[in-house]
Chains A and B, each alone.
Chain A
Amino acid sequence: MKLLYFAWVRERIGKTDEEVAPPAAVGTVAELMTWLAGRGEEYAYAFENPKVIRAAIDRKHVQPGTSITGAREIAFFPPMTGG
Chain B
Amino acid sequence: MMTATIRLQREDFDAAAEAAKLTGGRTDIGAVVTFSGICRDHEGGHGVSAMTLEHYPGMAEEEITRHVAEAEARWPLQGVTVIHRFGRMTPGDNIVLVVTVSAHRQAAFEAASFLMDYLKTQAPFWKLEERPDGKDWVAAKQSDDNAAARWVKS
Contacts and interface: CB of A to CB of B under 8 A. Distances in A.
A82 B56 contact: no
Interface stretch (A4-12, A23-31, A34-42): A4-12
A25 B17 CA distance: 54
Contact of B119 (A8, A56, A59, A83): A83
Nearest to B35: A83
Contacts of A82: 53, 55, 60, 84, 96, 119-120, 123-127
Main secondary structure of the interface of B (DSSP, over half): mixed
Nearest to A11: B137
A6 B126 contact: yes
> What interface size band does chain B fall in?
20 to 34
B59 A80 contact: no
Nearest to A79: B140
Q: Which interface residue of A6, A79, A83 has the most chain B CB atoms within 10 A?
A: A83
Contacts of B122: 61, 80
A61 to B, nearest CB: 7
19 contacts: A59-B56, A60-B59, A61-B122, A77-B56, A77-B124, A78-B126, A79-B139, A80-B122, A80-B124, A80-B140, A81-B125, A81-B126, A82-B53, A82-B55, A82-B60, A82-B124, A83-B37, A83-B95, A83-B125
Interface of B: 37, 53-56, 58-60, 62, 84, 95-96, 116, 119-128, 137-140, 144
Interface of A: 4, 6-8, 56, 59-61, 75, 77-83
Q: Considering the complex of A and B, which 4 residue pairs feature the smallest CB-CB distances, nearest first?
A: A82-B125, A79-B140, A7-B126, A83-B120
